Amino acid sequence: MSDTKSGTDNGIAEKTVSGMSGMTALLINTALTLGAVGVIVWAAIRIDAEGESPLLITMLIAGIVYASLISPLLYKGLKILNPQEALVLILFGKYFGTLVGPGFFWVNPFVRAFNPASQSATTGTTGESGTGSAGWKKPYKPISLKVMSLNNDKQKINDQLGNPIIIGIAVFWKVANTAKAVFNVDNYLEFLSMQCDSALRNIVRLYPYDSAGDEDADNEKSLRGSSEAVSKRLSDEIQSKAAIAGLEILEARITHLSYAPEIAAAMLQRQQAAAIIDARQMIVEGAVSMVEMALNKLNDKNIVRLDEERKAAMVSNLLVVLCSGKDTQPVVNAGSLY
């Protein structure tokens, strides 16, 4: 029996099928096979002893047909599924249904498991395999329903400002609709890999590598400073393309981000210059506030009265001392202040 799990506007609706208990089918078929072998032996002995008769010939032929043809065919319907695995089954070229859930099952022996991605070379995807938990190769092709990751090669892409950067992403995904995955695209693993590359290029060109402005403003978001927003937009972009293949994108994260080698040295100098400017600005602001505090303290406590010219000289000296990058060498005036 089968039931429609979900409809879709693109492709075939996914159906789940429930198979018969594999252990029950195995025991019944084994018993019948042994019985057929026994019938063959018994009929052969009777024919040898009593001569040929239509009944004995019929029993002999029936036993041979069952033991040599029907029994192996029934054994072919036995399937083993591990947790988080599914089998997409086709019957004479038509979609029969999807067998889901761990266990030992028996299904129509004429159905065939269909998974075009099982024979493809790996494209940076992990988690897809056709082996059981014991490591032996299955004769059929299950589809993994686990959360898998895809890591394509790093790409060189121009950012919003035209600077070449090297970027790599990791995409976490799973198969949400098995019928779409195997029937809507030729190979859903290769399809996802190409869509990730395309989406990465589309998104990266919308942002600069770095921005010194306000990261809260949309036009000031950057790849380095707004990784959460970029990852969310990248995930949505991939999902919009991968939906036709029945894939669900759980997360997309930037794993590598750097300037291309040809401009890396120049960009490093620019970042160092910006850092020096920011540090000097902070030093100057602190020095001005300290000079202001010193003058106010002197005036409030009437320690000394300075005219404008002497205040200017004092301010100049204090700023030199506070803003200098090296230790200052004070000169002591032992004579009159004036």
What are the residue boundaries of the structural domains of the chain, listed by start? 2-114, 138-259, 265-323
Q: Which two tokens stand for residue 226?
A: 């707004």
* pLDDT for residue 174: 92
How much is the pTM? Answer: 0.65
**Most confidently predicted of 30-34, 52-56, 316-320:** 30-34
Which of 163, 164, 146 shows the shortest CA–CA distance to 155? 164
Share of the chain above pLDDT 70, in %: 76
Average pLDDT score over residue span 161-179: 88
Mean pLDDT on 116-144: 55
Confirm or reject CATH 3.40.50.300 for domain 138-259, answering yes or no: no
Asked if the model's pLDDT at residue 193 lies above 60, the reply is yes
Percentage of the chain exceeding pLDDT 90 = 10
| Mean pLDDT of the 62-83 span | 89
Average pLDDT, the chain: 78
Over residues 230-248, mean pLDDT: 90
